[in-house]
Amino acid sequence: MLSMYTHVEQKNWDTVLPFVTFAYNSAKQNSTGFSPFFLIYGRNITTPLDVILPHNNDQDHDDSYVQQLITRSEESRQLAKIHIKDAQALDKRRYDARHRSVSYEIGDLVWVYTPIRKVGLSEKLLRRYFGPYRITRQMSEETYKVESMETDKKRRKLKDVVHALRIKPYYEPKKQLGEELRVVVSRRPVTRSQTRRQRDAVL
């Protein structure tokens, strides 16, 4: 949410932070069904419009109203727990519907998802997968131990345990690009005479 209101230079984030925080705390969350402010205080947040318009302040000092806030906040937190479990179950069903289990064998070469950041460079244009890595051991059904295929003897090979979601099969970039180029080159343009012969054959 904060990135939507931050300038390209990212120098005004501290200025808009209080407004974004206010909007987040007062907004109703889909997972809980309540706003964060309501879950803590048992009432909706007071907006600038509520301060401008006349309203009754007597109930703010009434003991029954305070007890009502305590009861309401506790009930809302219990309901929020139920809503969160329902939201988690829904997310799981959506994930399971799209997920396809993938298994790797020891010795397979893979790419490993490793997000990085560099000052002055757009994060969206940076590489996300690095490799090749060789799978050396399967730690569990979803995790693998990998080792980098570093050829420089002066540099130490990187070893890590990664989840299957961070892995995808490795393909030689040059070889893959060469196959795509051969397919493109093999597709010769159809001449006018060939088109005429095909039309006459149909007739």
Instruction: Tell me what the mean pLDDT of segment 97-111 comes to.
Output: 85
Task: With respect to residue 132, please indicate whether it lies within any of the assigned structural domains.
Answer: yes
The reply to whether 94 and 11 lie within a common domain is yes
Each residue's pLDDT tens digit, 122-151: 676 677 888 889 999 999 888 999 998 876
The reply to whether 6 and 93 lie within a common domain is yes
The reply to whether 82 and 149 lie within a common domain is no
Each residue's pLDDT tens digit, 147-159: 988 766 555 668 8
Instruction: Tell me what the mean pLDDT of segment 97-106 comes to.
Output: 82
pLDDT for position 106: 92
Q: 167, exposed or middle or buried, with CB in 10 Å at 0-12, 13-18, 19+? A: buried
pLDDT for position 109: 93
The reply to whether 144 and 76 lie within a common domain is no
Task: With respect to residue 194, please indicate whether it lies within any of the assigned structural domains.
Answer: no
Contact indicator for 160, 112 with CB cutoff of 8 Å? yes
Q: 99, exposed or middle or buried, with CB in 10 Å at 0-12, 13-18, 19+? A: exposed
Task: With respect to residue 199, please indicate whether it lies within any of the assigned structural domains.
Answer: no
The reply to whether 58 and 85 lie within a common domain is yes
- Considering 3-7, 88-92, 190-194, the range whose residues carry the highest mean pLDDT is 88-92
The reply to whether 38 and 65 lie within a common domain is yes
What is the chain's mean pLDDT, rounded? 78
- Domain extent, residue 50, equals 2-98
The reply to whether 88 and 150 lie within a common domain is no
The reply to whether 7 and 90 lie within a common domain is yes
The reply to whether 20 and 36 lie within a common domain is yes
Task: With respect to residue 112, please indicate whether it lies within any of the assigned structural domains.
Answer: yes
Q: Quick one: pLDDT band at residue 183, thresholds 50, 70, 90?
A: very low
Each residue's pLDDT tens digit, 53-68: 776 555 555 667 777 7
The reply to whether 93 and 13 lie within a common domain is yes
The reply to whether 8 and 42 lie within a common domain is yes
The reply to whether 6 and 94 lie within a common domain is yes
